[in-house]
Amino acid sequence: MAILPILQYPDERLHKVAKKVESITAATRKLVSDMAETMYAAPGIGMAATQIDVHQRIIVIDVSEAHDALLVLINPELIASSGESKCEEGCLSVPGIYDKVERAERVTVSALNAKGEKFTLEAEGLLAVCVQHEMDHLQGKVFVEHLSHLKQVRIRNKLKKRLRETM
Ligand code: K1U
Ligand code: ZN
Protein backbone atom coordinates (compact mmCIF):
# COMPACT_ATOMS: atom_id res chain seq x y z
CA MET A 1 0.00 0.00 0.00
CA ALA A 2 1.11 3.60 -0.52
CA ILE A 3 0.12 7.11 0.44
CA LEU A 4 -0.21 9.13 -2.76
CA PRO A 5 0.11 12.91 -3.30
CA ILE A 6 -3.27 14.72 -3.52
CA LEU A 7 -3.76 17.35 -6.25
CA GLN A 8 -4.38 20.80 -4.80
CA TYR A 9 -6.94 23.27 -6.18
CA PRO A 10 -6.60 25.20 -8.52
CA ASP A 11 -4.64 22.44 -10.30
CA GLU A 12 -6.16 22.06 -13.80
CA ARG A 13 -5.97 18.25 -13.57
CA LEU A 14 -8.84 18.38 -11.04
CA HIS A 15 -11.07 19.36 -13.98
CA LYS A 16 -10.44 16.24 -16.07
CA VAL A 17 -13.47 13.98 -16.58
CA ALA A 18 -12.81 10.41 -15.36
CA LYS A 19 -13.31 7.44 -17.70
CA LYS A 20 -15.28 4.27 -17.04
CA VAL A 21 -13.26 1.32 -15.64
CA GLU A 22 -13.50 -1.35 -18.35
CA SER A 23 -12.12 -4.26 -16.32
CA ILE A 24 -11.27 -4.67 -12.65
CA THR A 25 -7.73 -6.02 -12.44
CA ALA A 26 -5.09 -6.48 -9.73
CA ALA A 27 -3.91 -2.96 -10.64
CA THR A 28 -7.43 -1.60 -9.95
CA ARG A 29 -7.48 -3.32 -6.53
CA LYS A 30 -3.99 -1.92 -5.71
CA LEU A 31 -5.23 1.54 -6.70
CA VAL A 32 -8.29 1.15 -4.43
CA SER A 33 -6.05 0.12 -1.46
CA ASP A 34 -3.73 3.07 -2.09
CA MET A 35 -6.69 5.45 -2.29
CA ALA A 36 -8.09 4.12 0.99
CA GLU A 37 -4.73 4.43 2.72
CA THR A 38 -4.30 7.98 1.36
CA MET A 39 -7.84 8.93 2.49
CA TYR A 40 -7.38 7.53 6.03
CA ALA A 41 -3.95 9.17 6.36
CA ALA A 42 -5.14 12.61 5.20
CA PRO A 43 -7.50 12.22 7.17
CA GLY A 44 -10.67 12.33 5.11
CA ILE A 45 -14.01 10.61 4.72
CA GLY A 46 -13.85 10.22 0.95
CA MET A 47 -11.61 10.34 -2.07
CA ALA A 48 -12.06 10.22 -5.84
CA ALA A 49 -9.31 8.84 -8.10
CA THR A 50 -9.21 12.26 -9.82
CA GLN A 51 -7.65 13.72 -6.66
CA ILE A 52 -4.59 11.51 -7.05
CA ASP A 53 -4.38 12.28 -10.79
CA VAL A 54 -5.90 8.99 -11.90
CA HIS A 55 -8.83 9.71 -14.22
CA GLN A 56 -10.90 6.56 -13.74
CA ARG A 57 -14.38 6.35 -12.18
CA ILE A 58 -13.32 5.11 -8.73
CA ILE A 59 -14.38 6.43 -5.32
CA VAL A 60 -13.60 5.33 -1.75
CA ILE A 61 -15.67 6.52 1.22
CA ASP A 62 -15.72 5.79 4.95
CA VAL A 63 -17.95 8.01 7.09
CA SER A 64 -17.76 5.67 10.13
CA GLU A 65 -16.15 6.90 13.34
CA ALA A 66 -14.20 3.67 13.74
CA HIS A 67 -12.84 3.81 10.15
CA ASP A 68 -14.07 0.26 9.62
CA ALA A 69 -16.76 0.71 6.94
CA LEU A 70 -14.91 1.29 3.69
CA LEU A 71 -17.14 1.70 0.65
CA VAL A 72 -15.63 1.23 -2.81
CA LEU A 73 -17.64 2.54 -5.76
CA ILE A 74 -16.38 1.74 -9.24
CA ASN A 75 -18.29 3.25 -12.19
CA PRO A 76 -20.91 4.83 -9.88
CA GLU A 77 -24.15 5.95 -11.53
CA LEU A 78 -26.79 8.15 -9.93
CA ILE A 79 -30.14 6.35 -10.13
CA ALA A 80 -32.34 8.64 -8.03
CA SER A 81 -32.17 11.67 -5.80
CA SER A 82 -34.70 13.48 -3.61
CA GLY A 83 -35.01 16.35 -1.18
CA GLU A 84 -32.61 19.20 -0.52
CA SER A 85 -29.98 19.77 2.15
CA LYS A 86 -27.33 22.41 2.76
CA CYS A 87 -24.28 21.06 4.60
CA GLU A 88 -20.79 22.32 5.28
CA GLU A 89 -18.22 20.59 3.08
CA GLY A 90 -14.46 20.36 3.02
CA CYS A 91 -12.11 18.89 0.44
CA LEU A 92 -8.67 17.32 0.69
CA SER A 93 -7.82 19.18 -2.55
CA VAL A 94 -8.87 22.54 -1.06
CA PRO A 95 -7.28 22.41 2.42
CA GLY A 96 -8.57 24.75 5.11
CA ILE A 97 -11.65 25.87 3.13
CA TYR A 98 -15.13 24.89 4.34
CA ASP A 99 -18.46 26.16 3.06
CA LYS A 100 -22.09 25.16 2.72
CA VAL A 101 -23.24 23.51 -0.50
CA GLU A 102 -26.78 22.62 -1.58
CA ARG A 103 -27.18 18.94 -2.41
CA ALA A 104 -29.91 16.33 -2.67
CA GLU A 105 -30.88 14.97 0.76
CA ARG A 106 -31.02 11.34 -0.39
CA VAL A 107 -29.37 9.57 -3.32
CA THR A 108 -29.47 6.08 -4.80
CA VAL A 109 -26.34 5.06 -6.65
CA SER A 110 -25.42 1.84 -8.42
CA ALA A 111 -21.76 0.82 -8.69
CA LEU A 112 -19.36 -2.11 -8.75
CA ASN A 113 -17.37 -3.09 -5.66
CA ALA A 114 -13.66 -4.03 -5.75
CA LYS A 115 -14.66 -7.62 -6.70
CA GLY A 116 -16.61 -6.34 -9.69
CA GLU A 117 -20.00 -7.13 -8.14
CA LYS A 118 -22.84 -4.71 -8.84
CA PHE A 119 -24.56 -3.16 -5.81
CA THR A 120 -27.00 -0.36 -5.03
CA LEU A 121 -26.32 2.18 -2.31
CA GLU A 122 -29.12 4.19 -0.73
CA ALA A 123 -27.57 7.11 1.12
CA GLU A 124 -28.73 10.02 3.25
CA GLY A 125 -27.10 12.48 5.62
CA LEU A 126 -23.29 12.80 5.52
CA LEU A 127 -22.93 9.71 3.31
CA ALA A 128 -25.24 11.23 0.67
CA VAL A 129 -23.28 14.51 0.77
CA CYS A 130 -19.97 12.65 0.46
CA VAL A 131 -21.19 10.48 -2.45
CA GLN A 132 -22.32 13.60 -4.37
CA HIS A 133 -19.07 15.45 -3.57
CA GLU A 134 -16.96 12.52 -4.84
CA MET A 135 -19.12 12.00 -7.95
CA ASP A 136 -18.59 15.68 -8.75
CA HIS A 137 -14.81 15.06 -8.61
CA LEU A 138 -15.19 12.34 -11.25
CA GLN A 139 -16.90 14.93 -13.47
CA GLY A 140 -14.00 17.36 -12.92
CA LYS A 141 -15.96 19.54 -10.52
CA VAL A 142 -14.57 20.76 -7.18
CA PHE A 143 -17.04 21.73 -4.40
CA VAL A 144 -15.99 25.40 -4.44
CA GLU A 145 -17.48 25.61 -7.95
CA HIS A 146 -20.91 25.43 -6.27
CA LEU A 147 -20.09 28.73 -4.49
CA SER A 148 -20.44 32.30 -5.79
CA HIS A 149 -17.92 33.61 -8.34
CA LEU A 150 -16.58 36.08 -5.74
CA LYS A 151 -15.96 33.29 -3.20
CA GLN A 152 -14.22 31.20 -5.85
CA VAL A 153 -11.86 34.07 -6.77
CA ARG A 154 -11.06 34.66 -3.09
CA ILE A 155 -10.39 30.95 -2.45
CA ARG A 156 -8.22 30.63 -5.57
CA ASN A 157 -6.13 33.68 -4.59
CA LYS A 158 -5.78 32.47 -1.00
CA LEU A 159 -4.55 29.04 -2.08
CA LYS A 160 -2.19 30.45 -4.74
CA LYS A 161 -0.69 32.79 -2.10
CA ARG A 162 -0.30 29.87 0.33
CA LEU A 163 1.42 27.84 -2.39
CA ARG A 164 3.86 30.71 -3.16
CA GLU A 165 4.71 31.02 0.55
CA THR A 166 5.62 27.34 0.82
CA MET A 167 7.91 27.39 -2.25
O1 K1U B 1 -13.20 14.51 -1.55
C2 K1U B 1 -12.55 14.92 -0.61
O3 K1U B 1 -11.75 15.82 -0.77
C4 K1U B 1 -12.75 14.33 0.77
C5 K1U B 1 -13.64 15.18 1.66
C6 K1U B 1 -15.03 14.58 1.61
C7 K1U B 1 -16.15 15.42 2.15
C8 K1U B 1 -16.12 15.98 3.41
C9 K1U B 1 -17.18 16.73 3.88
C10 K1U B 1 -18.30 16.89 3.12
C11 K1U B 1 -18.32 16.34 1.86
C12 K1U B 1 -17.26 15.59 1.38
C13 K1U B 1 -13.06 15.14 3.06
O14 K1U B 1 -12.92 14.11 3.64
S15 K1U B 1 -12.61 16.63 3.78
C16 K1U B 1 -12.06 16.16 5.41
C17 K1U B 1 -13.17 15.85 6.34
O18 K1U B 1 -14.31 16.17 6.09
C19 K1U B 1 -12.91 15.12 7.60
C20 K1U B 1 -11.64 14.88 8.05
C21 K1U B 1 -11.44 14.18 9.24
C22 K1U B 1 -12.51 13.74 9.98
C23 K1U B 1 -13.78 14.00 9.56
C24 K1U B 1 -13.99 14.69 8.37
ZN1 ZN C 1 -13.07 16.84 -2.50
Query: Which ligand is closest in space to the CA of residue 128?
Result: 1
Dist. CA 116 → ligand 2 center (Å): 25
Of the bound ligands, which one is closest to the alpha carbon of residue 48?
A: 1
pLDDT of residue 85: 97
Global pTM value: 0.97
User: Does ligand 1 lie within 6 Å of residue 136's CB atom?
Assistant: no
User: Ligand 1 centre from 45 Cα, in Å?
Assistant: 5
Q: What is the dihedral of CA 41, 156, 104, 20, to 10 degrees?
A: -70
Using CB atoms within 10 Å of the CB of residue 132, give its burial: 0 to 12 exposed, 13 to 18 middle, 19+ buried.
buried
Given a cut of 80, whether residue 167 has pLDDT beyond it is no
Residue range 12-166 forms a domain whose CATH class is: alpha beta
Atom of ligand 1 nearest to the CA of 92: 3
Cβ-Cβ contacts under 8 Å for 135 (sequence gap 6 or more): 48, 59, 76, 78, 109
Query: pLDDT tens digit string along 93-142?
Result: 999 999 999 999 999 999 999 999 999 999 999 999 999 999 999 999 99
Q: Whose CA is nearest to atom 22 of ligand 1?
A: 44
Q: Is residue 92 in contact with ligand 1, taking CB distance under 6 Å?
A: yes
Q: How far is CA 154 from CA 13, 15, 39, 98, 132, in A?
A: 20, 19, 27, 13, 24
Residue 88 has pLDDT above 90, yes or no: yes
Domain boundaries, given as residue ranges, for the chain? 12-166
Q: What does the pLDDT look like over 27-65, one tens digit per residue?
A: 999 999 999 999 999 999 999 999 999 999 999 999 999
